[in-house]
Amino acid sequence: MAARPKVRHWIYDPDVPDLILLNGPPASGKSTLARRYVDAHPLSLNLDVDVLRGLLGGWADDPEASGLVARSFALSMAEQHLIAGHDVVVPQFLGRSRFIDQLGEVAAQAGARFVEVALWLDRPTAIAAFAGRTAAPTTQSHVDTADLVERSPRPDPLGSMYDELVAMVDARPQTVRVDVARGDIGLTFQHLCEALT
């Protein structure tokens, strides 16, 4: 990922709830950082769309349809929690902009600040991180993601996902890049907190 200027289209206000999208390649630390954030911000919501999808019966038989249902749930949950005055964090790989735009609309309707974050690491490191996590998964979501990647018809699914993410982030100058410190989640979380404030 080539370096580029950071452009922000929002202003930090501690009295306004945040809807934070944590985008990034698989195994870049999105879920771990989301847990860290909600642990540090009481009553904030870690809204993991993959977890919601996993609650649907037979979701793996039609990942696309079940993913759309889970996103619909997530949008409703996010709006209600933001209206109540609490932060929402959505850790989700997104290579297309539709769901991002929907999240932005929810934030606007709820009077919240919407922050698009992309966890930033180079292509070989991202692919190696996913391979390492696949070899030793620690959650069911990790197992499910590895299975979906394995079943992908693309010749290079991880590389394609990475390239889609980079192209989309490059087209969205409001996205804030947060450098991932591999092996140091504490430092990465510090980078995230600095970017948000």
- pLDDT, tens only, 16-33: 999 999 999 999 999 999
Q: Give the predicted TM-score (pTM) of the model.
A: 0.87
* Helix spans in the chain (H): 30-40, 49-54, 63-83, 98-110, 123-135, 140-151, 157-170, 185-196
At 17 the pLDDT is 96
In angstroms, the Cα distances linking 98 to 38, 102, 183 are: 25, 6, 32
The predicted model gives 48-70 an average pLDDT of 94
Give the start-to-end residue ranges of the domains of the chain: 18-196
Q: Which residues pair with 116 in a beta bridge?
A: 21
Over residues 82-109, mean pLDDT: 96
145 within 8 A of 26, measured Cβ to Cβ: yes
- Identify which has the larger pLDDT, 171 or 153: 171
Superfamily of domain 18-196: P-loop containing nucleotide triphosphate hydrolases (3.40.50.300)
pLDDT of residue 11: 59
Q: Output the pLDDT for position 133.
A: 78
- N-terminal to C-terminal alpha carbon distance within the chain: 23
